[in-house]
Amino acid sequence: MNKPKELMSGYNWPCPLGIAPFLHQKDTAAFLTERPRAFCFNEQGTGKTASVIWASDYLLSAKAIKRVLIICPLSIMHSAWLQDLFKFAVHRRAEVAYGSPNKRKSILKSNAEFVIINYDGVQICKAEILQGGFDLIVVDEASAYKNSQTLRWKTLRDLMRQIKGLWMLTGTPAAQSPADAYGLAKLVNPTGVPPFFSHFRDMVMTPVYPYRWSPRPEAKDVVHKVLQPAIRFIKKDCIDLPEVTFLDRDAPMTSQQSKYYDQLKKELLIEAAGEEVSAVNAAVKLSKLLQIACGSVYTDAGEVIEFDASTRLSATLEVVEESSNKVLIFVPFTHAIQQISAYLTKNGVSNDIINGSVSVSKRTEIVKRFQESDSPKVLVIQPQAASHGLTLTAADTIIWYAPVTSVETYLQANARINRPGQKNTMTVVHIKGSPVEGRLYSLLRGNISLHEKIVELYRQELAEEQATT
């Protein structure tokens, strides 16, 4: 699969009218063509997709490869990859392997040079992929393969025993923990890491107390060494984009919210007395407090209890009305999404919803309408459903209705507007009505691992309750 880098100088870059590759995109494409297995850690919005398409097209033209399989999140199969393939490789046949098992398998057996499939589809069609004549697999948002114990990871490992090429793309490698590098390195650079995860974890992490680990001082250097070969460009070094302003907006809880918020904290304080709380349990309990602050909470029976969240809804509407351009509202909880959408509609603000229940075709239609039409003015989005790949530069304002507990999700979601094509200064607004939300936003903005801090946040919140009783 290797081809000399200098040969790309004579390559006819298949660019649509008015679009030409930047130097960093050419360098990335050249880097990948020389390496059957490699990482591309270019930051969000720097054109990783285009670089991969150009590199793949060059290798196809040179007959170094015959077919490319692109594995990516469901949410960006059409709106990012298929759209860019039509833009940058219109002379190639590209298909999306999604739908019934028979439809997926039929497309994998076709003569399409590029086949796009989502993570779960790989497990369904493993045999057909092995028989499909693919020479190169491209994994977008590769952090989905950080855990080497999952069936998803093991399926890709099995494929790579027969398929030579693997390019893994992510702008946030090992975002949550240095130990996350193991799964990625084991696929691209298997001889560069120990045979067992526990050995690697001991190289980069040290136990603080049971169930909590802290990065070793040398962890950064170890991770850099194992995640090779790799290339990385960041936006500020290669693209001129307007600045981003971060603002906090207070939305005090209503008396009803405060009553139940305080009641839940008292119950949690009693429950936590004398017991060691894991990060997982602390995150679940904090989530309940955040749900009340948002206006609805899920009971253990799966039912939804709604609260008066008028101050938070009003604060959100104020930001929307002050925005001269379009707005994204990121909301972590499903029922709160419905509340906000109904509230905006009631107040005459056109809006659409993107969450896990919205089909791929519908999502593509919504994004196209948002980018190209006057309506809708607002997209109400579940962060995990649209934090990767989508370009939503028609908006220049993001509202976080409540914080998430993942730094990677927060950074990726903010990058939906901070991309090439953005012409306006950008604003990210944090809505907060409780102390724990303010602390979470500070950690997210500081790019601080929440896994290490989640128990501390939980204990701080309960300590405040204890101090008032």
| Gap between the Cα atoms of 423 and 401, Å rounded | 25
The answer to whether 137 touches 160, Cβ cutoff 8 Å, is yes
Q: For the segment 93-107, what is each residue's pLDDT rounded down to a tens digit?
A: 999 999 899 999 999
The answer to whether 239 touches 22, Cβ cutoff 8 Å, is yes
Predicted local confidence at residue 198, as pLDDT:
93
Q: Give the chain's radius of gyration (CA, Å).
A: 23
> Where do the domains of the chain lie, and which CATH numbers do they carry?
5-238 (3.40.50.10810), 244-468 (3.40.50.300)
pTM attached to this predicted model: 0.70
Asked whether the predicted pLDDT for residue 139 surpasses 70, the reply is: yes
DSSP secondary structure string for all residues of 96-128: E--SSHHHHHHHHTS--SEEEEEHHHHHHTHHH
Q: What is the residue whose two structure tokens read 């057996």?
A: 109
Q: For the segment 215-250, what is each residue's pLDDT rounded down to a tens digit?
A: 999 999 999 999 999 999 887 777 666 678 898 888
Predicted local confidence at residue 278, as pLDDT:
44
Predicted local confidence at residue 16, as pLDDT:
73
Asked whether the predicted pLDDT for residue 298 surpasses 70, the reply is: yes
Q: For the segment 9-38, what is each residue's pLDDT rounded down to a tens digit?
A: 678 888 775 566 788 888 999 999 999 999
Alpha-carbon distances, residue 226 vs 173, 214, 402, 415, 453 (angstroms)? 12, 19, 36, 27, 26
Mean pLDDT of 141-163: 95
Q: For the segment 331-382, what is each residue's pLDDT rounded down to a tens digit?
A: 999 889 999 999 999 999 999 999 988 888 899 999 999 999 999 999 999 9
| Gap between the Cα atoms of 70 and 47, Å rounded | 16
Look at residues 7, 21, 20 and name the one whose alpha carbon lies nearest to residue 51: 21
Look at residues 149, 159, 80 and name the one whose alpha carbon lies nearest to residue 121: 159
